[in-house]
């Protein structure tokens, strides 16, 4: 909570003292979570659909370049099927992406391209066994608590006076294994809708 207060205070001071355009918004959407697998022994993992949402901040350095910092809750994981087992696991993360944004005014809106890094914190995990429909906690599974990744995406911003709406597609590829026992890594494709305002 203290971290959020400090960030908001710095954004406000930057907006007032230096004339930097700062935008704050609420974002939500969905993602398709998958497991990137470097070993053929685990290529039976499939994709799942999860929710993401949270807060977005944009610091516009000038008309072309900006910095975006988000605080999101997202659900990702995978689906596994083989001859002996059929299950789906979902992991709940807090994501903190920091992105460089390139903006181009196309008349009816602003086209954006963004890329950067992301740190994720695993909060909880669930395993759904499809043969009997049971839902089990994954607290006893050696899941990595902190993960790092790279993010890239594109979107459209529609400004309306001091407010804005935006749509964004984003792909995140995490570089550390999800579990200690195997080499699979989280990857997700996200669709985000954001409503915000200028400070």
Structural domain includes residue 158: yes
Nearest to 27 by CA among 85, 77, 99: 99
Distance separating the N- and C-terminal Cα atoms of the chain:
20
- In the chain, which residues have pLDDT < 50? 8, 11, 13, 15-17, 41-42, 140
**CA pair distance 25, 196, nearest whole angstrom:** 4
Structural domain includes residue 68: yes
**CA pair distance 83, 68, nearest whole angstrom:** 45
Number of domains in the chain: 1
Q: pTM of the prediction? A: 0.80
**CA pair distance 57, 188, nearest whole angstrom:** 21
Element containing residue 177 per DSSP (H, E): strand 163-177
Structural domain includes residue 3: no
3-class DSSP state for residue 16? Answer: helix
Beta strand 185-198 with 146-160 is unpaired
Backbone angles phi, psi at 133, to 5 degrees: 75, 10
The CATH number for 112's domain is 2.40.160.20
Q: Is the dihedral of CA 139, 71, 165, 170 positive or negative?
A: negative
DSSP one-letter code for 61: S
Structural domain includes residue 4: no
Instruction: Tell me the H-state helices in the chain.
Output: 2-18
Beta strand 48-60 with 146-160 is unpaired
Range of the domain at 43: 24-198
User: What is the tens place of the pLDDT at every residue in 137-165?
Assistant: 555 456 788 889 999 999 999 988 889 99
Structural domain includes residue 18: no
Structural domain includes residue 1: no
Structural domain includes residue 153: yes
Structural domain includes residue 42: yes
Residue 15: per-residue pLDDT: 47
Q: Which residues pair with 137 in a beta bridge?
A: 126
């Amino acid at each position: 909570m203290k971290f959020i207060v400090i960030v908001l205070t710095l954004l406000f001071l930057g907006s007032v003292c230096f004339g930097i355009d700062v935008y704050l918004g609420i974002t939500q959407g969905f993602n398709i979570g998958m497991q990137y697998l470097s070993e053929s022994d685990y290529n039976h993992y499939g994709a799942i659909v999860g929710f993401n949402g949270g807060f977005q901040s944009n610091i516009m350095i000038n008309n072309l370049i900006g910095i975006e910092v988000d605080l999101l809750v997202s659900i990702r994981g995978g689906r596994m099927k083989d001859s002996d087992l059929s299950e789906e696991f979902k992991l709940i993360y807090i994501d903190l992406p920091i992105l460089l944004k390139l903006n181009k005014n196309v008349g009816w809106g602003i086209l954006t391209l963004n890329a950067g890094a992301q740190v994720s914190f695993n909060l909880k995990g669930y395993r759904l066994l499809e043969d009997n429909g049971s839902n089990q906690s994954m607290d006893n599974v050696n899941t990595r608590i902190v993960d790092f990744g790279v993010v890239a995406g594109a979107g459209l911003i529609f400004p309306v006076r001091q407010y804005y709406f935006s749509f964004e597609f984003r792909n995140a590829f995490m570089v550390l294994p999800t579990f200690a026992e195997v080499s699979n890594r989280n990857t997700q494709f996200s669709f985000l809708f954001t409503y915000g305002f200028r400070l």
